[in-house]
């Protein structure tokens, strides 16, 4: 067996750890006394153990890459190797186990910190979202209670008689607040489109599509409307909306009180 095969066998690590029998210990000791390459490997193993243990104690954020880089920078020197002391190597083995345990604890601790950080961020986002939802709700309450806001109920039509919606029109801000809770979920590939209507002649103007209808829990939408609207309607259109309303798919309709 040549030196490379002997090193690859792992017997030198067992020798350093004090895990060989007395006879094996003496055989390895005699062999490395005669072979500088094997002696250098034994010294390298010992230094790796020392650095591993020191690294784990020195810095709780120490990584395996740091240890690897240190090992690369370590110079190996050939020295006279004394007759091995079994107790000494049992100590080295204990140090190695301690160092490994410390490093494992560090890695687990870092993983726990990352998990807690992610959970904290998620909680903060939920709190922020809840705060925003509360602020939006308070704003809507103010809008609905404003005496200058015009309220227009939209009744269900032939295609969906049970549907309903309500428009709150704020002419000061040129916007409407649409409560679409009374509309059913649109089929896949379809979307609700909101229309501002003038009646003589009948002229529809698109106010946009409710492309977030399914995702929006409250079904309340803020929409810009600078038109002189006389009525509002909601139709079901292909995804992306249409240039003109499909009156066969008119779900709700309501006129502005004169």
Q: Region 64-88: what's the mean pLDDT? A: 49
The whole-angstrom separation of Cα 224 and Cα 206 is 11
Is 12 or 209 the better-scoring residue by pLDDT?
Answer: 209
One DSSP character per residue, 94-152 reads HHHHHHHHHHHHHHHHHHHHHHHHHHHHHHHHHHHHHHHHHHHHHHHHHHHH-TT-EEE
90 pLDDT above the threshold of 60: no
Instruction: Find all residues with CB under 8 Å of 217, minimum gap 6, and list them.
Output: none
pTM, entire model: 0.49
φ/ψ of 82, rounded to 5, equals: -75, 165
CATH of 150-255, one of 1.10.1660, 2.60.40, 3.30.43, 3.40.50: 2.60.40
What pLDDT sits at residue 15? 76
Query: pLDDT band for position 104 (50/70/90)?
Result: low
**Sequence-distant contacts of 241-250: CB under 8 A, at least 24 apart:** 241/191, 241/193, 241/206, 241/208, 241/209, 242/193, 242/206, 243/206, 244/204, 245/193, 245/195, 245/204, 248/159, 249/159, 250/157, 250/158, 250/159
Domain spans in the chain, listed from the N-terminal domain onward: 3-109, 150-255
For 204-249, how does the pLDDT look when each residue is reduced to its tens digit (9 = 90+)?
A: 999 999 999 998 888 889 999 999 999 999 999 999 999 999 999 9
For 36-57, how does the pLDDT look when each residue is reduced to its tens digit (9 = 90+)?
A: 888 888 788 777 766 665 554 4
What pLDDT sits at residue 44? 81
């Amino acid at each position: 067996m040549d030196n490379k095969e002997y090193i690859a066998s792992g017997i030198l690590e067992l020798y350093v750890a004090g895990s060989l029998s007395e006879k094996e210990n003496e055989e390895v000791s005699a062999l490395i006394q005669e072979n500088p390459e094997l002696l250098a490997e034994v010294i390298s193993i010992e230094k790796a153990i020392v650095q591993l243990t020191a690294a784990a104690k020195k810095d709780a954020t120490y990584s395996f890459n740091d240890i690897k880089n240190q090992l690369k920078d370590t110079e190996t020197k050939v020295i006279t190797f004394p007759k091995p002391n079994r107790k000494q190597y049992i100590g080295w083995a204990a140090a190695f186990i301690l160092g490994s345990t410390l490093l494992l604890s560090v890695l687990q601790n870092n993983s726990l910190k990352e998990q807690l950080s992610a959970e904290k961020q998620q909680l903060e986002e939920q709190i922020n979202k809840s705060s925003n939802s509360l602020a939006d709700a308070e704003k809507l309450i103010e809008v609905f209670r404003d005496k200058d806001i015009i309220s227009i109920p939209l009744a269900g039509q032939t295609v969906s008689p049970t549907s309903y919606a309500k428009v709150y029109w704020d002419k000061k801000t040129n916007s409407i607040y649409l409560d679409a809770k009374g509309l059913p979920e649109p089929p896949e590939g379809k979307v609700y489109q909101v229309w501002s209507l003038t009646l003589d002649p009948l002229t529809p103007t698109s106010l946009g599509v409710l492309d977030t209808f399914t995702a929006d829990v409250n079904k309340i939408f803020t929409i810009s409307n600078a038109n002189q609207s006389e009525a509002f309607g909601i139709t079901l259109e292909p995804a992306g909306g249409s240039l003109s309303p499909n009156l066969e798919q008119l779900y709700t309709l309501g006129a502005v009180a004169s």
